[in-house]
């Protein structure tokens, strides 16, 4: 029964001032808990219900209450995914937001496994053309559309990339000096148009297999939005990485140019042997700083480059058969979007 002793109320041998009364033993983290079913105040512990997302840890003189990470079966604390994590689609511990879902509209992630549908980029919707300067629309899986600008000293009926057991063979026309530039369109509202100083950080990543590394250039990266040209070196601003046997046979190069200045080729010294596949990535910060990556790491030798503010750039890939007897060049995958 509750009692009084010098103004202090006792209940089941526990004083209301929080100290233990002789005869009552408590453990770490226990509390005084009232009950309508009993006139007494009991000593008890806090408990959680299964799957409710709380963790209670009693200790001497304290109780720690924390949230449990949520899962498919447990309510709990979640971390919001960045737009980049949402687009990558591999993280299992974060939760996406409407903004993250919206970012998927401007993200490309293709592992090539189908040949594209094609037509000439024109109001007539004519069949694809292998004539020099022609631009074809290529529609890939999931509705992804790329432009194919033809670089053809000798026009060929073979003008489309075709899927085979290795990947998407873009070496369609086995004629020296023939090639193409692939891009998402060179206009300010194209899917992957970015304005330096305005757009958040962005990137481009191609996985490429080269049967003959001397059969090049094969270059990917970002360039200023300008009318397509068969000679990529005429673009006033660009940052590319890949192969160019004329500059450095068998090793990867970086080549960049700023504001119509002198193009700067850099030998990374990273090797690329025949029939090898490598992943080339170009990151561009919001302020235009370019970072090159080869298979996920920085090149042995790199080159510092920054696009000028307000420049509108877009990603592209350029290849040209550089040998008398050309060979296959395969695209394995491509990714592009915000970092």
| Fold held by 112-338 | Jelly Rolls (2.60.120)
What's the pLDDT at 14? 46
Question: What is the average per-residue pLDDT within 243-253?
Answer: 95
Taking the C-alpha atoms of residue 306 and residue 315, their distance in angstroms, rounded to an integer, is 15
- In this prediction, residues 310-336 reach a mean pLDDT of 97
Q: Answer whether 0.85 is exceeded by the pTM.
A: no
Residue 104 banded pLDDT, cuts 50, 70, 90: confident
Break the chain into its structural domains and give their ranges: 112-338
Question: pLDDT digit string (tens) for 22-49?
Answer: 445 677 777 777 767 665 667 777 777 7
User: Does the pLDDT of residue 51 top 80, yes or no?
Assistant: no
Mean model confidence pLDDT for the chain: 87
Pairwise CA distance, residues 303 & 78, whole Å: 40
At residue 135 the predicted structure's pLDDT band, cuts being 50, 70 and 90, is very high
What pLDDT was estimated at residue 281? 98
- Mean pLDDT computed over 287-315: 98
Q: Is the pLDDT of residue 3 over 50?
A: no
Name the region of 53 (left: φ>0; alpha: ψ -120 to 50; beta: rest).
left
How many Å apart are CA 248 and CA 298, to the nearest integer? 18
Residue 17 has pLDDT above 70, yes or no: no
Of all residues in the chain, what percent carry a pLDDT higher than 90? Answer: 63
Please answer whether residues 75 and 97 qualify as being in contact, where contact means their C-beta atoms are separated by less than 8 angstroms.
Answer: no
């Amino acid at each position: 029964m509750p009692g009084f002793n010098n103004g202090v109320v006792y209940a089941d041998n526990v004083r209301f001032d929080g100290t233990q009364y002789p005869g009552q033993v408590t453990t770490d983290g226990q509390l005084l808990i009232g009950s309508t079913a009993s006139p007494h105040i009991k000593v008890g512990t806090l408990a959680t219900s299964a799957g409710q997302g709380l963790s209670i840890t009693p200790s001497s003189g304290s109780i720690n209450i924390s949230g449990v990470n949520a899962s498919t079966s447990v309510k709990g604390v979640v971390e919001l995914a960045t737009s980049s994590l949402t687009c990558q689609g591999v993280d299992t511990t974060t939760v996406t937001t409407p903004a993250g879902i919206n970012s998927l509209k401007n993200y490309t992630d293709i592992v090539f496994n189908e040949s594209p549908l094609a037509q000439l980029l024109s109001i007539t919707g004519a069949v694809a053309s292998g004539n020099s300067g022609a631009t074809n629309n290529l529609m890939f899986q999931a509705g992804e559309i790329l432009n194919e600008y033809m670089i053809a000293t000798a026009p060929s009926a073979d003008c489309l990339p075709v899927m085979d057991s290795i990947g998407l063979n873009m070496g369609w026309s086995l004629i020296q000096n023939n090639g193409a530039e692939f891009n998402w369109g060179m206009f300010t509202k194209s899917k992957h148009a970015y304005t330096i100083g305005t757009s958040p950080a962005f990137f481009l990543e191609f996985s490429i297999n080269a049967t003959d590394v001397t059969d090049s250039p094969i270059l990917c990266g970002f360039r200023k939005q300008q009318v397509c040209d068969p000679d990529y070196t005429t673009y006033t601003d660009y940052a590319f990485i890949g192969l160019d046997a004329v500059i450095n046979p068998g090793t990867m190069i970086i080549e960049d140019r700023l504001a119509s200045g002198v193009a700067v080729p850099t030998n990374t010294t990273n090797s690329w042997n025949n029939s090898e596949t490598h992943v080339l990535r170009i990151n561009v910060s919001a302020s235009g700083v370019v970072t090159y990556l080869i298979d996920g790491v920085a090149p042995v030798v790199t080159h510092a480059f920054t696009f000028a503010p307000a420049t509108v750039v877009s990603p592209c890939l350029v290849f040209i058969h550089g040998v008398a007897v050309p060979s296959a060049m395969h695209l394995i995958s491509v990714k592009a979007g915000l970092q």
